Structure formats: structure tokens, C-alpha cells
Amino acid sequence: MAGPLIDAATLAQWMVQRLDEGDGPLVVADVRWYLDGRSGREAYAGGHIPGAVFVDLDTALTAGAGHGPGRHPLPAPGAFARAMEALGIGDGVTVVAYDDAGGSIAARLWWMLDVQDHAALVLDGGLAAWPGPLVKEPSPGESPLPAPPAHFTARPWPAGTLADADAVAAATGAVLDARAPERYRGDVEPVDPRAGHVPGARNAPWAANLDPATGRFLPAAALRARYDEFGPVEIAYCGSGVTACHDLLALRLAGLPPARLYEGSWSDWSADPVRPLATGPNP
């Protein structure tokens, strides 16, 4: 299996061949979600890659508020396994995740599968890169095809892949903040209790991993040059542990050692009034 990116032409070929060359079955996952409250499911219904299943960030990839740190805590392993099985994703299935936001949401599903040793890729360029027509959800009165039976082995989230607030505070390596610069500086804060960033954290906006002309990831050499400037990266965070996975994917593409995800991210840190914060463009 190639990875962790796949281009649209290769995906289209795979979907025709159904991975007959020995890579096993394939599930294409639409992981659209919007911070502004728009419905990813409605976007999916309006047009998606043929055969793709919709993966709801808030239900399939999140335990729900109050069941862990921050706005998007990780689900319990058993709950994640059941959510994947309901989508037809089981052991031995290759998952290709996409969105319409540069991979910033799809990377969350990629990371969750990857750390549990399930084959997963992200569609480089996302929905906009798809060369063929899109399909809509079945019209009223029609039923979508049921997901094929699947068994997804539940595994604990590996301890070495996650960080909590105390680990962030004690970090000796670089801590990266994947949010947009205006949120890092504290100029705006649309959803979380306080504005700013973790003191000492460096701003590494996920969007800077992409070529603005194409919407695709930068070449590996360019990503490596970008992340080498931060020194050894220990932890990445964002607003709620979603778009930070884009930086973790970029580290993989750059050939650099993996970093840990701060699960609760700024939504967790900023909710604790005891935790200090910094504002402005500097760490």
C-alpha cells in the first residue's frame, strides 16, 4: 500500500479494480465537518465520491463533550470499533479519507486508524481533486445499500501517541499549535473559553502544509524544511484535537519522527483557568 497520501487518479483506478492486486477491500470515507455549524452530512448528501460512506466527526470519531478532555475527545476503543464496523470498515480494509478542507478533517480519521495499525490514506487535494462526477444520496423512498459485515478489532489508544495538559506543560521538545495565526495570537476565538495559545508553543498552521495553488500537500522536502525550523517536535495541538492531525500527517510525509497529539488541545487548556496563556505572535 502506498501512503499516507493517495492522488485522485490512483484512487479512481483502485475503485475500478477493487484492489484486485492484493491490497484487500477499500472504503472511501467522506469526513466533511465545519466549525461554523454547517452540516457535513448535508454536504455529503448534496454530492460525494461514488461509493463513499459518510463519517460523522461528532459521533464516529468523538466520544462527545464531557466524556474526555476538550470538545472532541477520542471515543473509547470499543465505541470506535463499533462505529467503523457500522460503516463497513473492518480489519484488512484500506480506508481513503477525504474532505473539502485540505485534509484538515480527514487527517483525524487517518490518524485514528494509523495509530491502531489499520491501513489508511488521505486523498491529496480532497473532493476538489476528484476527476469524475459526484453522486447524491438516494432520493426519498430509496434506501442506501447496507454496509457489508465487518469486524474491527478494538485496540487501546497507544499511550505514546497522546499527551494531556500536564505533558504539554512539561514538554522539552517543540509544542506546535496547528490553528490559524489569528487564533494563535488571540485576536479571535470563535468557540473556546479563552483566546491565545499555550505559552512556549510555536504556531504551525495546518494550512501552510499545502500548496495554495493546488490545495495539495507540499513536497516532502519542503515539509521537512518547514518542520526542521521548529527543532524536534514533541506534541501538536489545535482547537480540539482534529486539525493537529494534519501537522502529524505532514511530519510523516516529511520523514520526521512522530509527535504526540494533545487530545483536548486548546479547548481543554483554555477551559482550565489555572493554566497560563500567551497572546501575540511569539511563543
**Alpha carbon separation from 3 to 121, 147, 233 (Å, rounded):** 6, 25, 21
The phi, psi pair for 272, rounded to 5°, reads: -100, 105
Can you identify the CATH homologous superfamily of domain 159-269? Rhodanese-like domain (3.40.250.10)
Whole-prediction pTM: 0.94
pLDDT at 19: 47
The residue ranges of the chain whose pLDDT is under 70 are 1-2, 18-24, 138-147
| Active-site amino acid positions | 238
C-beta atoms surrounding 204 within 10 Å? 26
- Please answer whether residues 205 and 235 qualify as being in contact, where contact means their C-beta atoms are separated by less than 8 angstroms: no
- Please answer whether residues 190 and 35 qualify as being in contact, where contact means their C-beta atoms are separated by less than 8 angstroms: yes
pLDDT tens-digit map of 161-190: 999 999 999 999 999 999 999 999 999 999
- Please answer whether residues 126 and 58 qualify as being in contact, where contact means their C-beta atoms are separated by less than 8 angstroms: no
pLDDT at 138: 67
The CA-based angle 261-223-236, given to 5 degrees, is: 15
Domain with CATH 3.40.250.10 in the chain: 5-129, 159-269
Give the whole-angstrom CA distance, residue 191 versus residue 267.
8
pLDDT at 64: 77
* Topology given in CATH for the domain delimited by 5-129: Oxidized Rhodanese; domain 1 (3.40.250)
- Cell numbers standing for residue 236: 501538536
pLDDT at 224: 98
Give the whole-angstrom CA distance, residue 180 versus residue 133.
32
pLDDT at 140: 53
- Rounded to an integer, what is the distance from CA 146 to the centroid of its chain? 25
- Please answer whether residues 126 and 104 qualify as being in contact, where contact means their C-beta atoms are separated by less than 8 angstroms: no
